[in-house]
Amino acid sequence: MSIPAKLNDVLHEMPGIKVRMMNERRVRVDLSPDTLPALLEILKGRLGYCHLSAISCVDWVQTDQFELVYHVWSHMLKTMVSAHIFISRQPGQFISVYDIHAPAGFFERDIHEMFGVHFEGAPNLNKFILTSWGGPPPMLKSFNTREYVEKTFDWVQYSPDWLKDIEAKGGGID
């Protein structure tokens, strides 16, 4: 199991890059945020990495960082490259890669809604799925879902007779 030679050459043109082969079709790449657009550009131009499958985001509270992962696929090499970058949580800004991969506009809008990351140059960062949402970005670790639910909704009080019998014997559903 080794990285295709062409891909290996291209990846190592990037300064400060860490390459790891996850399995025979997936390469994990760790690099600095500044070099990411260049990497995507170069992969697209030279090795046919024209398919941006997804951009995912992870909120790391301990290190106060957002991890952004760009998954690109090449139909030529039949390999996926997952490029991991870490950006600071404050102010949580990064540049849009919409000019390289048009579908990025869609993913960036989603990440903006769920994590509050602002993508500079993104075509549209309006509300996407949570149209009547007024609260903080809900996928942030700092957002306490349970507290929000307790505050917003109330519950059906459920105590049928059969349950009372069980509770009298020391059992229950809690």
Partner 1 sequence: MSDKLPVIEDQPEICRSVDAGERSVWTRVMNRFADHCRARSLFVLHYCTGCGAIELPPTITSRFDMERVGVSPMVTPRQADILLITGYLSIKTLKRVILSYEQMQSPKYVIGFGSCTINGGMYWNSYATVKRLDQYIPADLFIAGCMPRPEAVQQVLLKLMEDIDAGKANGWQDYYNNYDRYLGNQQALFGESWHTPTDVIAEAKHYGYLADGTMGRHTDLLLKRADYALDRVPEDYPERGKNERRLP
60 interacts with partner 1 by CB under 8 A: no
Applying CB under 8 A, the span of 12-20, 50-58, 86-94, 149-157 interacting with partner 1 comes to 149-157
Q: How far apart are CA 118 and CA 112, in angstroms?
A: 6
Query: Which amino acid type is present at position 134?
Result: G
130 interacts with partner 1 by CB under 8 A: yes
Which residue(s) pair with 155 in the sheet?
Answer: none
Choice from 1, 5, 156, 173 touching partner 1 (CB under 8 A)? 156
Choice from 155, 159, 161, 174 touching partner 1 (CB under 8 A)? 155
Number of residues that bind partner 1 (CB under 8 A): 18
Choice from 62, 153, 169, 174 touching partner 1 (CB under 8 A)? 153
β-pair type (65-74, 79-88): antiparallel
Q: Is-contact 118 96, C-beta < 8 A?
A: no
Applying CB under 8 A, the span of 16-24, 74-82, 102-110, 134-142 interacting with partner 1 comes to 134-142
138 interacts with partner 1 by CB under 8 A: yes
159 interacts with partner 1 by CB under 8 A: no
149 interacts with partner 1 by CB under 8 A: yes
Q: How far apart are CA 36 and CA 84, in angstroms?
A: 9
132 interacts with partner 1 by CB under 8 A: yes
* Cβ nearer to partner 1, comparing 120 with 155: 155
Let me know if 135 is exposed, middle or buried by CB neighbors in 10 A (0-12, 13-18, 19+).
Answer: exposed
Q: Is-contact 127 113, C-beta < 8 A?
A: yes
Query: Which amino acid type is present at position 89?
Result: R
**Residue 161, phi then psi, degrees to nearest 5:** -60, -40
Interface residues with partner 1 (CB under 8 A) are 129-132, 134-135, 138, 143, 145-146, 148-149, 152-156, 158
